[in-house]
Amino acid sequence: MNTRSFVSKLTRNRDPIIRALIFAVLIRFLWGIGVLAIPYFLGWELNDIIRLEILGLRMYFFIITIIGILVIMRSYKIYKWWTTLE
């Protein structure tokens, strides 16, 4: 793909791209607020969350894995959407 076709795809599909970016930022914002608010309302501190273990693994390993899977899924959706455009 050359630069001219890349730029033309961006200009033709400006609205869906902007909508998808705003949606992704909003979801990440709500996720971050949820991660911070739930422990606060339960009366936990950050060190309690870091020390929390499930199946012998620290909780933040599970959180990093979940976020990685979500990023890969989003990237695949964007790639699939980009390749189906004219």
Tell me the pLDDT of the chain averaged across its residues: 79
- The domain locations on the chain are 18-84
pTM value surpassing 0.85: no
Distances (CA, A) of 52 to 19, 44, 48, 74: 37, 11, 6, 28
Cα distance between residue 83 and residue 86, in whole Å: 8
The Cα-based distances of 18 to 37, 40, 45 in angstroms read 28, 33, 37
Helices (H), 1-86: 3-12, 14-42, 46-51, 59-84
* pLDDT given at position 74: 82
Q: Which residues of the chain have pLDDT under 70?
A: 1, 85-86
